[in-house]
Chain A
């Protein structure tokens, strides 16, 4: 119980900091810092980016999921893999791929295009899972009631996809609010990039902190909107038994446009960035291949990832255990507290930890410890979710049986519980590890001077327009991200939220 409370409190530090800060500087000062032309401009930019990005992601995600899951499109397994694959390319790597080819992607249109192509799989995955779980009898009933295919889709299918679609859209919008690397590279200022610039240029605490407050407000608004519109209607299948698989739709004359549409998405989302990356890898001979730097950055990334994964999984275990085995209002609250950081942009977490550590625990500022704590706070939800799923697998009755067979608590843990939960814990650790290995924003702010990871080294090189020199770091990050993408896809395949 005590460790769980401590971890939950730690996870709440960033949010408490933002709220506490806004309260401490008083209403007038907060008003002065918030209501000014610069903030209005950032708000406008952020809002139109989020709206356009979410709408476009929803269209691509739902369209792609429907084509793959419900039509007779050939090569559906390959399309599925290709449509999910952009998750393996960090958004800032993908924007590097574009911007190193042409400067015309800078600005609003380019930003929308690139971040949408990086994040639409977050809609695609849950919607595809929901489509798989739909009961075809409902569509058949609609057809029998005289509805054509289009009207059936909009009046029967789409309403059932609502939870999946809204959940996915929420994830996309939170990612867009938090996105730093890609937008900075595309020179499209939003709250997140502005906070970074403020912090870097002047260490201007109040302005950066207040911008962070507005950003957190936006996140809260989105969460509330999703809660409100998601609806409470019961959308699971009524009646017992497993649903049949529906008859797949023949595309007829839409066959060619559908194939071309998917092809365009895949080319733009994967082909261009990876092609560009390959080009820079090949022609990067203009720069000497920096084996030493590359090795040390890789070692740092992997090392940080491993330590953060271990620490995060250990921290998540008590929370997950309480949430599964001692489910009470208090333990549920503790568990939920850790999810808050899911909605907090990395820049806010980093900023909060910088300020709080300078103020209260000076010795940890500029240490690896603080960086690991930031990773812990940011990626705790992944570990808690995996830990919960793992513990749910290990039914308490199995422990009862082991006790009845003469095994004490330690032997039971070692011989029964641990073997049962270790795959789930391993998956959680892998997710944290891979997220850390490609993390950019918080690492830029918190890494001790001299510590370079793959992401920060890549950032330095591409900021200096040394695209060839940046390429090997980007390639390594993509390679490291692939297994995480596979894991996430598998998780999404297992659970169907509708």
Chain B
């Protein structure tokens, strides 16, 4: 049996790890290398690093910090933030990452997703979609770390990204991110019903039960965790941790 991947999603602000709430209100979490050494010890399934300030600050991926990360990691690694050429992706793969996540740039140049998939295979390309509810409850895709509102509707956009060659979708609910309130099950289900590639649900996880729900009720193939794995509890201090494997098996099994 393939186990459901539970993936710490680490937010980089250039060289520091941070955690946000609804894409704002930064809290400093620590040094990426120290943190991932702990995740190594905990034998987590996979790690995802997202540099959330690369695109807003028009920065390229920070290859130095990514190389330091890859040196320490013996699990699958993904990176997103500021990638808009095949060369950026190549340098990241050469360092030892096997997936890149594309978000803002794909909305302007969807053909870039196909280009990457052609070069490196679909499995290497994560299409990342950030979604926020509008005034009347309509869910809309945002880019540039939540700063820019597009005209795209999440389900249609996910289908397009799949047809362009994305190997999986990282679906983030901006409204739930950092809130510990649970996943937006409706949003996740609407996307998992529409595509056949794996969907990684992200935004809102507050408990092992939330993880079970989004997998069982909303059809997520994998789950990304933020606050839950870097804070002791909601509103409390930094403590790098990972849910107990037995508890996970219970809700996922």
Q: Do A and B bind each other?
A: no
